[in-house]
Structure 1
Amino acid sequence: MTLSIWLAFVAAAVVIAATPGPGSVLVLATGLRYRYTAVLKALVGLEIALLVHLAIVAIGLGALLAASDTAFLALKVVGAVYLVWLGVQKWRAPVTAVDASKVHLAATNHLFRQGLLVNLTNPKAVIFIAALVPQFISLQAPQVPQYLILGLTMVAVDVVIMTGYALLAGRFRDWFNNVRMVRLQNRVFGGMFVSAGALLAVSSRS
């Protein structure tokens, strides 16, 4: 893999990571509520799911998902239902201010699971990676090292972009940390998750 091809992939990865989606909504919502150490749990879940998607593409199952209406529909329904469920849970979350500096990390362990499932149940992410990544793979060279390089690059870029979202949200945490603003956060992010689920439910593979 040449430097120019890798840089082109970095540019594509930046665009993908910066595009708003369920993952960025989760990171923003978490960043407004908790410190970065808690956000990091959601990030780990998101990135593990991203690597699972890449592995699926690498072994050829991504093409199967793209070709199978049944497989795509099944995963799409699961993903949409989970996003709507997250939205309802967020909407109904307790309206209480939280001192992020006093939140025990064990109380945020659920964020890893949320990050993992948000990305893992998104079939469009697999298909998008299946359409993008193979374009940067040389068939004349060993493919495993290339997939490893591209996978690590995708994760690194995504972590940087999502960290930016989290730190930006964190700058407004104190301003949003009162009962009225917490209620607003719950309604806004709950609505965003439900909307994301609805959009996923009506989406096609293209």
Structure 2
Amino acid sequence: MTFEWWFAYLLTSTLLSLSPGSGAINTMTTSINHGYRGAVASIAGLQTGLGIHIVLVGVGLGTLFSRSLLAFEILKWAGAAYLIWLGIQQWRAAGAIDLHTLAQTQSRGRLFKRAIFVNLTNPKSIVFLAALFPQFIMPQQPQLAQYLILGVTTIVVDMIVMTGYATLAQRIAAWIKGPKQMKALNKAFGSLFMLVGALLASARHA
């Protein structure tokens, strides 16, 4: 793989990570409610889920999800239901839980696991990776090394972008002066979770 080819993938991966989705929303809500430590756990969980997707694509299961309507639909509805459930939880928390209480109710381990599930139950991610990776792998060169380069690049880029979202969320949190603003913000993010879940439910198999 040439540097130019890798740089083209780097730009593509960066643009994809920057586009707001369930991972970005999860990172921002965690950063606001649990601070940087919670955000670090969440980002680590997202990258673990992404890494599992990359491995699944590498062993051929990405092709299965891209070709099997049943597999795609099962994962799609599981992901949509989970995101909508997270949105409902966030909405309910807005009316009864303040910043300090919420931070005590969820361990970083739980935040880590939640983030893994957010990424794992997104079928569009694994299908997209299965379609994207072959476009940047040169058949005349060792494929495993190229695949590892693309996989590591994807995870590092997404980690940096999610860290940026967490930092942005901290800036937003600095504007919160009282429980009413916190409630409104939690409701807004809860609505975003439900919206992304609804959009995922409406996604069609390519």
* Interval containing the TM-score (normalised by the shorter chain): over 0.9
Alpha carbons 1:98, 1:177 under 8 Å: kept: no
In structure 2, distance between residues paired with 1:166 and 1:157: 14
Alpha carbons 1:91, 1:191 under 8 Å: kept: yes
TM-score normalised by L of structure 1: 0.93
Alpha-carbon distance, 1:109 to partner = 2.4
Would you say 1:89 and 2:89 are equivalent positions?
yes
Q: Normalized per residue, which structure has more helix?
A: 2
What residue in structure 2 maps to residue 126 of structure 1?
126
Alpha-carbon distance, 1:31 to partner = 1.7
For residue 109 of structure 1, give the secondary structure of its aligned residue in structure 2.
helix
Alpha-carbon distance, 1:64 to partner = 1.2
What residue in structure 1 maps to residue 139 of structure 2?
139
Opposite residue 97 of structure 1, the aligned amino acid is D
What residue in structure 2 maps to residue 11 of structure 1?
11
In structure 1, distance between residues paired with 2:195 and 2:50: 22
Deviates more, 1:110-119 or 1:174-183: 174-183
Residue-by-residue CA offset, 1:20-66 (whole Å, 9 max, x unaligned): 10000011111222221210111111001111111111111111111
Change (3 A) 1:14 1:179: same
In structure 2, distance between residues paired with 1:119 and 1:177: 32
Residue-by-residue CA offset, 1:66-105 (whole Å, 9 max, x unaligned): 11111001111110111111111111115343259xx569
Alpha carbons 1:38, 1:105 under 8 Å: kept: no
In structure 2, distance between residues paired with 1:203 and 1:106: 31
Displaced runs of 4 or more, over 4 A: 103-106
Opposite residue 61 of structure 2, the aligned amino acid is L
Q: Identity across aligned pairs (percent)? A: 40
- Segments of 5+ residues of structure 1 without an aligned counterpart are none
Residue-by-residue CA offset, 1:151-184 (whole Å, 9 max, x unaligned): 1111111111111111111122232252101211
- For residues 1-206 of structure 1, what are the structure 2 equivalents within 5 Å? 1-93=1-93, 95-99=96-100, 107-176=107-176, 178-206=178-206
Alpha carbons 1:32, 1:176 under 8 Å: kept: no
Residue-by-residue CA offset, 1:171-199 (whole Å, 9 max, x unaligned): 22232252101211221111111111111
In structure 1, distance between residues paired with 2:45 and 2:177: 25
In structure 2, distance between residues paired with 1:66 and 1:85: 26
